[in-house]
Structure 1
Amino acid sequence: MSRRGRLVVVVTGASSGIGRGVAQALAARGADVVLAARSEQTLSAVARECEERGGRVLVVPTDVSDEAAVQVLARRAVGTFGRIDAWVNAAAVWSYGLFEDTPGAVFRQIVDTTLFGQVHAARSVLPQFRSQGHGVLINIGSLYGRLSSPYVAPYVTAKWGLLGFSEVLRQELRDAPGIAVCTVLPGAVDTPIYRHAANYIGRRIRPLPPVTSPERVVAAVVDAIDRPRREIVVGRTQRVGAWAHGLVPGLYDRAIGPVVNAFAVRGTPVSSHDGTVFAPDSLPCAVDDGWRRHDHRILGQALTVSAGLGALAIVVRALGRRR
């Protein structure tokens, strides 16, 4: 807990998944939590969960792709609690489909939410951090900020951009040692974002196994508020993919398509739809979405593929050194 008393933390994307889990965890520690997402109805449910855990809560319905709305969010947080100790950027939307099949408006909205939503947050909160002399900005990135795969062009574009943006902020804030910028990079996480994704591929999708529990990511975020670090990777197995991507990019490019088609694209046909890209889900949301409960058989296959890709990368690297 902060020496300043109760932590004051703004959490965007607080309606489901990682954001909702972070809000609950912080409330359980007695923090003052400012909840932001597009759906006021869902945020009200999250607020009750946080209050039951002992936190004080402010609900501010916010579309983070609207910079003016994010400025209002920051002002209301300071106006209610007097300061902001940390800001957690967890808002994101997702689509699945070939780039050529993804509508331009969908591509832009995903980048506006998943990248510019975090840019707007930084622009809104950094002056407050500077004025009070401290603050932690946590950007929830993704290992898709270091690698890529077919069908997720707008999300990968946003996450690669977020990684660079966070790095620039750290460089520019060297004159403010009390301010930290942390990037949390999870792999595939068991959250509703896959169910909420826009779909232009014509088949049902699922996260690429092995799927990390949202609790692990939540714990990493909460720990980063106490002990800020530059980058935190969550999901050991997915690191193999990031390593292979950097070490043998040609091999990675050839392998990733078949891997995604085998393990993330299901046979069930679905009609094209925009998911929650433009509007929040009207149904109740949660922290997790139950993917891990059905992964026992497919997990072994995915681990075998990951191990094989890693071993092949080692062989290719060794052969390259001999030459």
Structure 2
Amino acid sequence: MGTKLKDAVVVVTGASSGIGRATVKALLHAGSTVVAVARREDALQDLADEFDGDTRRRLDIEVADVNDATALERVAAEAIGRYGRLDAWVNNAAVNQYGRFEEVPLDEWRRVVETNLFGYVNGVRAALPWFREQGHGVVVNVGSVLSKVPAPLQSAYVASKYAIRGLTESLRQETRDVKGIDFALIMPGPVDTPLFQHAANRTGKRIKPPEPTVDAARVAAAIVKNIKRPRREVPVGASTRPALLFMRLVPGMTERAAAKPMAAAHLTDEAETPTAGNVFEPVPHGISVSGGWKPARAGNPGRTLALAGAVAAATAVGLKRRNAA
């Protein structure tokens, strides 16, 4: 069913930077009232300082960790108490970890899954009772192309994104008894956000997103659109649909062909000391929507073309074998 954006009350987690911050801005522009949730109070205050007048009055900031189920229940209850309803909940908060599976610290690996998956679980559990009581509500879960397509060096993140897709599908089935409740899964490809600077990194090299990236504002627009009119799955980005198609047609070939190019596409030549990033605690840097990646990568399409070529070749071989059979 969706909801009207003007005067809608929407909670957005992971609102301090990147996609979350862009989504808050887009919703405020559309006339919604937004509760922006993140761990970093200074980043939330910086976001609030961008607005004044009526727009500022429609923005609440809430410092909370999505791993804290009680804190998210409080966020939902306070939104209901303040505005009388809760129309949508956007699960977006996420952390990442880079490194070979057997070389990364297990506590980091576990925390990535806990934050990304159980953070969404906690969000839905906070919102769903209110949605059932009022008879309507939209949950938008921000997944990834990695919800269906694997990638090396970030096994915890991929595992969490696959799990988020399964969670979304299961909850969509469970809530069929209330026609006004909807679930949408947003699946962007690489996005220009500070996520890569925030990530735990055990590779020994500085991390960057693979090409091509999309602006976080484009993902935010998809989120806002799906609050208004939810769809089951929404790929975002030029590289996303081909990757999903290749994985569906020739999964084994795609995995093998993309493995090395995908790993290389994330690594720069610059050395970096091991770091846990923001996996356990917030970091002070990176409070903007953009991670500043696009200008640095302009004119360097080699790895993207190599990846596309490898996957296309694998697809062609796979299709030939399938037809021959």
Q: TM-score range by the shorter chain?
A: over 0.9
Cα deviation for residue 213 of structure 1 reads: 1.3
1:84 aligned residue: 86
Measure, in 1, the Cα distance between the counterparts of 2:297 and 2:4: 43
Distance 1:230 1:289, change over 3 A: same
> How many residues are treated as equivalent by the alignment?
323
Cα deviation for residue 313 of structure 1 reads: 0.3
Cα deviation for residue 304 of structure 1 reads: 5.0
**Superposition pairs of residues 120-199 of structure 1, within 5 angstroms:** 120-199=122-201
Q: After superposing the two structures, state which structure 1 stretch, 155-164 or 281-290, moved more.
A: 281-290
Cα deviation for residue 5 of structure 1 reads: 5.5
Q: From 209, 221, 224, give the equivalent of 2:223.
A: 221
Cα deviation for residue 34 of structure 1 reads: 0.3
Structure 2 contact 96–195 (Cα < 8 Å) conserved: yes
Q: From 258, 263, 266, give the equivalent of 1:256.
A: 258
Distance 1:242 1:3, change over 3 A: closer
Structure 1 contact 14–35 (Cα < 8 Å) conserved: yes
1:44 aligned residue: 45
1:57 aligned residue: 59
2:13 aligned residue: 12
2:30 aligned residue: 29
Measure, in 1, the Cα distance between the counterparts of 2:300 and 2:32: 39
Sequence identity (%):
40
Cα deviation for residue 305 of structure 1 reads: 3.2
TM-score by length of 2: 0.94
1:95 aligned residue: 97
RMSD over aligned CA atoms reads 1.8
Q: From 277, 291, 304, give the equivalent of 1:289.
A: 291
Cα deviation for residue 95 of structure 1 reads: 0.7
SS at match of 1:101: coil
Amino acid at match of 1:82: G
1:105 aligned residue: 107
Cα deviation for residue 84 of structure 1 reads: 0.8
Cα deviation for residue 307 of structure 1 reads: 4.3
Distance 1:218 1:50, change over 3 A: farther
Measure, in 2, the Cα distance between the counterparts of 1:26 and 1:9: 8
Measure, in 2, the Cα distance between the counterparts of 1:316 and 1:284: 42
Measure, in 2, the Cα distance between the counterparts of 1:20 and 1:120: 20
Distance 1:80 1:53, change over 3 A: closer
Cα deviation for residue 314 of structure 1 reads: 3.1
Cα deviation for residue 254 of structure 1 reads: 2.2
Distance 1:53 1:272, change over 3 A: farther
Amino acid at match of 2:181: I
Amino acid at match of 2:166: G
Q: After superposing the two structures, state which structure 1 stretch, 248-257 or 21-30, moved more.
A: 248-257
Measure, in 2, the Cα distance between the counterparts of 1:50 and 1:116: 32
Q: From 240, 252, 260, give the equivalent of 1:238.
A: 240
Measure, in 2, the Cα distance between the counterparts of 1:174 and 1:20: 31
2:214 aligned residue: 212
Structure 1 contact 28–50 (Cα < 8 Å) conserved: no
Cα deviation for residue 193 of structure 1 reads: 0.2
Structure 1 unmatched ranges of 5 or more: none
Amino acid at match of 1:89: N
Measure, in 2, the Cα distance between the counterparts of 1:52 and 1:287: 22
Measure, in 2, the Cα distance between the counterparts of 1:232 and 1:3: 19
Cα deviation for residue 164 of structure 1 reads: 0.2
Cα deviation for residue 260 of structure 1 reads: 2.3
Measure, in 1, the Cα distance between the counterparts of 2:201 and 2:257: 23
Measured against aligned partners, the alpha-carbon deviations of 1:137-164 in whole angstroms (never above 9, x if no partner) come to 0000011110111110110110000000
Amino acid at match of 1:21: A
SS at match of 1:110: helix
Measure, in 1, the Cα distance between the counterparts of 2:207 and 2:5: 45
Cα deviation for residue 48 of structure 1 reads: 2.3
Amino acid at match of 1:11: V
Structure 1 contact 240–310 (Cα < 8 Å) conserved: no
SS at match of 2:50: helix
